[in-house]
Amino acid sequence: MATFLFDQIIFGPIKSRRLGVSLGVNLLPTDTKVCSFDCIYCECGWTPRSRTQKAILPPRTIVKQKLEEKLTEMFAKNELPDVITFAGNGEPTLHPEFEGIIDDTIELRNLLAPSAKIAVLSNGTMLHKPAVVRALLKIEDNIQKLDSAFDETIRKIDCPASNYSLKDVVKNLKSFKGKVIIQTLFVKGIFKDQIIDNTTEDEVSEWLKLIQEIKPSQVMIYTIDRDTPATGLEKVKLETMQSIGERVKAIGCEVQVSG
């Protein structure tokens, strides 16, 4: 199916379902995906298993220059974004200069777009690195993926690199002491002859227990919206999404539901 890669370091602005008018920053290569997950629903397609050439990430200086150019242009047109979002072709926190890039972004935002938030969409696999955690604590929207409370389901849906530990990720998410937003994608279907469904009662009730432990400032739940690399996946019905949303509210947590 037709997945796509972002072909620039700075992309958009785009109207995001969850974040508003969002100017995107892609810290990964523009011609390939680099991620510690290989989610079956990833809009960027499958993560390459092997490479003939080393993936080249954009240097900090270039990211700063491109972001400054774009924000200056948007400032001149009085069309500033609601949010500057680190997403793109993979996992942004894999960039070795991530903390410095966040510092530059805060500096540029304060100068050119003071009302814009800074958001990072991450899969939580680099939270063992103190520099990554430090950087995430400096921004407004630290958005971390948690698609299930079961290791087995995460392995089926997110296909993490082999050293993944859900227990460690949850421990790291708890250490943010609420300065974190949890995002969860709900999906159903069949992939490689296995049933995929993180909306069952078992799944939702165990996931809610983890949400209670992590105590995030907000939970964002959504379902697939565009083409996915795996065929056989389906969108979760809006009624199901809303009913999960009600259960999140019932445990006292703010929730945003995108159907």
What is the binding site for ligand SF4 (CB under 6 A)?
35, 37-39, 42, 44, 47, 90-91, 123, 145, 158
CB closer to ligand SF4 out of 22 and 123? 123
DSSP 97-156: THHHHHHHHHHHHHHH-TT-EEEEEE-STTTTSHHHHHHHTTSSEEEEE---S-HHHHHH
Q: Is 40 left (phi over 0), alpha (psi -120 to 50) or beta?
A: alpha
Query: Cβ of residue 252: shortest distance to ligand SF4, in angstroms?
Result: 28
Using the 8-state DSSP alphabet, how is residue 47 labeled?
A: P
Query: Cβ of residue 185: shortest distance to ligand SF4, in angstroms?
Result: 8
Q: How many residues does the chain have?
A: 259
Q: How far apart are CA 113 and CA 85, in angstroms?
A: 13
Q: What's the one-letter identity of residue 57?
A: L
CB closer to ligand SF4 out of 123 and 199? 123
CB closer to ligand SF4 out of 125 and 199? 125
Query: Cβ of residue 54: shortest distance to ligand SF4, in angstroms?
Result: 19
CB closer to ligand SF4 out of 33 and 60? 33
Query: Cβ of residue 123: shortest distance to ligand SF4, in angstroms?
Result: 4
